[in-house]
């Protein structure tokens, strides 16, 4: 052992140096180490400065996270107003209720801050009373195990301030702790049930950037891009402890608020319509019912509603069991309209020169191919038929009379009139999800039946568009629901104007049709809308053009049987000589039905509209600094229908030419500003027949001539729009080389 120790000492002392030498070596080693560390630091410093990264970490971002806080500034969603500036839908703070049920939640002094089991029944009672939540649902939530807190579904969310405070007061009076509320941005519908399906809903939608109100249905959905703004971004500086430093806010991106939309709806008329529809539905008990009032001279929808409906503020009734369908009946459901279609049949027959008011026919039946068509009173066993004039036949709603007129016109001519009235095509009036309906099938019997409203599928908005041609002396108008759009960011607006979409019949044919419609409610023998010698539809002392209809309902290729399996409808135009208003009401499968029920919903609305006539011709004034710009996107190759809808939502007047699936030409340059009410041609990749050019500008006629290669000769005024065309609508264009167009004011 001693040897080993000696050997180790010899090895350790073999290269021994003096203390001075050792200090020199240590100094040299430290200097080399210092130089190495310095170069490592310099290299890392250069890398950090040059790349702003180290070990895959974004250093600026990391520093920003430590010393900066980014806050999203939520843009305000635009308000939806009625035509006079009364809010229909607006942003508001909403509240959601929760209950703490964990027994661990106590104060430092031992006070119980949770809802105690002995208080559950009182909570059940309060929430049932204030929110309408079923008692068993509240109990179910409160009795859950191993949870800190519970919420109460949709009925416990989106609460108004008044509802929240009412619950708070009730809980405080009952000495109940543990009830709290969270706040969130919400949408308030101050009128409650108010064109609910048409206006629709906007609800919070969660994303990685937070929650935002998004339109889910109706106007809220269709106009979502207009109503939604763009969120902004603000950064705040923080100290080393993470506290926000006051006065350090920097706007990175300014929030752009959504635009406000002024609809064409009238709050007084809409409110009255909701009340009267409840009366009407209570008596008739229809599976579905709907009613719409339109300005006959502008196409503006003044009031519209349907049943069943729901309350968008409380979501009461917003479920499939109540609504039966989520669709808006005005434009998302098509149906066979029945005898209200006879209005268009009569107008077409008069326009075609086929109708002779005093000519007599036998109403017992008419044979078309292998089918015998009979009148409603013959089918019901009330009559075996009778001889009557065609004028009397219209008042009596004779299927035989209308079929006879259709046969006199000929199938091709009648189908051409249906095309002129634009049945089979969506109106593209700006609402998303519009249904197109169905055109009569290529069948002789079906074509004949379409003359009295069977064998053809329509939407209510299509019927209203067609009725506008009758009320407006042959000039057909596009239905409208936007009065103006206001941009609060630039303080500019876009204002709507009446849009003409064709002239299917002459002024004389439309006027005479209204005259015959008057007899439906006044002829004591043949009229179908007269009871005890008194017109069912009345509005003061005004003469009213009316027509009712009762249509069978087709399901799975066959018509339903039974007295209640019908769709009943009525249209009224007042005053008949020069209508200001059109009202159209439908009810499907009423459990209890009498024609007299129409007066509960039609008469009071028409009377109020007549009293408000002067105020309904204008809309709310908004102080602005000009017109909001709207740039034309590159729409070549796009779907023409969707493009037309988008344009109408921005108050431009598109005209689709042809039946192709893609846009081949557009009359304006991409990127150009489209002014409000400007007429824009959208020519599709398939054009085979002559379009209805009524109302076109001379400039657009020339553009069409350039695209189609047809030579145009102009007659009439130097300025104005098209009043007449030498080639009829629907005629084949393949051999057309020349066309004469008459221009007028």
Cα 579 from Cα 566, distance rounded (Å) = 29
Give the 3-state secondary structure of 119-181.
HHHHHHHHHHHHHCCCHHHHHHHHCCCCCCEEECCHHHCCECHHHHHHHHHHHHHCCCCCEEE
Name the residue among 555, 528, 617 with its Cα closest to residue 581: 617
Cα 705 from Cα 725, distance rounded (Å) = 13
Is the CB of residue 225 less than 8 Å from the CB of residue 445? no
Q: 618, exposed or middle or buried, with CB in 10 Å at 0-12, 13-18, 19+?
A: exposed
Can 60 be counted among the known catalytic residues? no
Is 400 in contact with 366 (CB distance < 8 Å)?
A: yes
- CA gap 464, 476 in Å, rounded: 10
Distance of CA 607 to the CA centre of its chain: 28
Q: With contact defined as beta carbons under 8 Å apart, do 638 and 663 qualify?
A: yes
Q: Residue for token digits 């007042």? A: 574
Q: Which of 92, 102, 108, 96 is nearest to 180 (CA)?
A: 96
Burial (Cβ within 10 Å: 0-12, 13-18, ≥19) of residue 435: middle
The conformational region for residue 369 under phi > 0 = left, psi -120 to 50 = alpha, else beta, is left
> For 539, phi and psi rounded to 5 degrees?
-150, 90
Q: Round to whole Å and give the CA distance between 137 and 93.
A: 26
The DSSP secondary structure of 633-690, one letter per residue, reads P--TTS-HHHHHHHHHHTT-EEEEESS-SSEEEESS-TTPBPPTT-EEEEEES---B-
| Nearest in space to 587 (alpha carbons), one of 332, 286, 322 | 286
Q: How far is CA 144 from CA 96, 175, 656, in A?
A: 19, 22, 59
Peptide bond into 440 cis (omega under 30): no
The residue annotated as part of the active site, out of 222, 228, 313, 339, is: 339
Q: How many angstroms separate the Cα of 138 from the Cα of each of 156, 167, 176, 393?
A: 10, 14, 15, 62
Paired tokens of 254: 């300014």
Distances (CA, A) of 317 to 197, 204, 326: 12, 19, 11
Known catalytic residues are 339
């Amino acid at each position: 052992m001693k040897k080993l120790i000696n050997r180790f000492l010899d090895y350790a002392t073999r290269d021994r140096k003096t203390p001075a030498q050792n200090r020199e070596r240590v100094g040299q080693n430290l200097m080399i180490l210092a130089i190495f560390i310095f170069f490592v630091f310099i290299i890392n410093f250069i890398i950090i400065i040059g790349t702003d990264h180290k070990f895959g970490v974004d250093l600026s971002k990391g520093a920003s996270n430590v010393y900066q806080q980014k806050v999203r500034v939520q843009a305000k969603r635009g308000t939806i107003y009625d035509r006079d500036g009364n809010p229909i839908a607006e942003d508001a703070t909403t509240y959601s209720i929760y209950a703490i049920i964990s027994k661990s939640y106590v104060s430092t002094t031992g006070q119980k801050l949770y809802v105690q089991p002995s208080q559950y029944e009182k909570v059940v009672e309060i929430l049932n009373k204030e929110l309408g939540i079923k008692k068993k649902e509240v109990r179910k939530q409160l009795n859950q195990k191993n949870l800190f807190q519970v919420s109460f579904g949709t009925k416990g969310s989106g609460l108004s301030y008044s509802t929240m405070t009412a619950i708070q007061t009730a809980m405080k009076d009952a000495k109940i702790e543990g009830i709290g509320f969270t706040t969130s941005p919400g949408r308030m519908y101050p009128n409650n049930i108010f064109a609910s399906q048409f206006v629709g809903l906007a609800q919070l939608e969660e994303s990685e950037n937070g929650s935002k109100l998004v339109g889910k249905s109706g106007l809220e959905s269709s106009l979502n891009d207009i109503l939604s703004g763009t969120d902004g971004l603000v950064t705040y500086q923080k100290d080393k402890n993470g506290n926000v430093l006051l006065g350090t806010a920097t706007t990175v991106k300014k929030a752009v608020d959504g635009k406000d939309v002024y609809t064409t709806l009238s709050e007084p008329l809409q409110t009255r319509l909701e009340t009267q529809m409840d009366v009407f539905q209570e008596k008739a008990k229809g599976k579905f019912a709907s009613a719409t009032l339109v300005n006959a001279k502008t196409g503006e929808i003044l009031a519209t509603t349907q049943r069943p409906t729901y309350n968008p503020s409380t979501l009461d009734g917003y479920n499939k069991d109540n609504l039966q369908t989520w669709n808006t009946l005005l434009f998302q459901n098509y149906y066979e309209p029945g005898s209200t279609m006879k209005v268009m049949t009569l107008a077409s027959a008069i326009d075609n020169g086929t109708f002779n008011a005093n000519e007599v026919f036998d109403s017992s039946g008419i044979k078309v191919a292998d089918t015998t068509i009979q009148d409603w009173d013959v089918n019901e066993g009330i009559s075996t038929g009778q001889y009557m004039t065609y004028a009397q036949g219209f008042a009596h709603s004779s299927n035989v009379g209308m079929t006879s007129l259709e046969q006199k016109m000929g199938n091709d001519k009648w189908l051409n009139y249906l095309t002129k009235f634009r049945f089979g095509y969506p109106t593209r009036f700006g609402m998303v999800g519009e249904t197109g309906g169905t055109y009569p099938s290529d069948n002789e019997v079906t074509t004949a039946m379409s003359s009295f409203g069977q064998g053809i599928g329509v939407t209510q908005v299509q019927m209203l568009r067609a009725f506008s041609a009758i009320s407006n002396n042959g000039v057909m108008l596009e239905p409208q629901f936007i009065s103006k759009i206001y941009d609060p960011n630039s303080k500019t607006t876009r204002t709507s104007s009446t849009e003409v979409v064709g002239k299917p019949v002459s002024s004389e044919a439309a006027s005479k049709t209204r005259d015959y419609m008057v007899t439906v409610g006044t002829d004591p023998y043949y009229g179908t809308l007269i009871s005890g010698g008194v017109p069912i539809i009345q509005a003061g002392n005004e003469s009213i053009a009316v027509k009712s209809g009762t249509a069978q309902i087709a399901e799975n290729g066959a018509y339903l049987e039974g007295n209640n399996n019908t769709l009943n409808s009525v249209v009224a135009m007042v005053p008949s000589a020069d209508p200001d208003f059109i009202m159209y009401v439908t009810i499907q499968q009423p459990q209890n039905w009498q024609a007299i029920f129409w007066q509960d919903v039609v008469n009071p609305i028409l009377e109020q509209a007549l009293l408000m006539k002067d105020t309904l011709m204008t809309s709310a004034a908004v102080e602005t600094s000009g017109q909001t710009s709207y740039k034309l996107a590159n729409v070549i190759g796009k779907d023409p229908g969707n493009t037309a809808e988008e344009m109408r939502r921005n108050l431009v007047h598109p005209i689709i030419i042809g039946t192709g699936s893609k846009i081949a030409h557009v009359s304006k340059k991409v990127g150009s500003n489209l002014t409000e009410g400007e007429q824009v041609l959208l020519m599709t990749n398939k054009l085979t027949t002559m379009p209805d050019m009524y109302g076109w500008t001379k400039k657009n006629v020339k553009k069409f001539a350039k695209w189609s290669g047809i030579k145009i000769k102009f007659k009439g005024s130097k300025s104005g729009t098209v009043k007449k065309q030498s080639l009829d609508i629907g005629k084949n264009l393949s051999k057309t080389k020349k066309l004469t167009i008459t221009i007028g004011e």
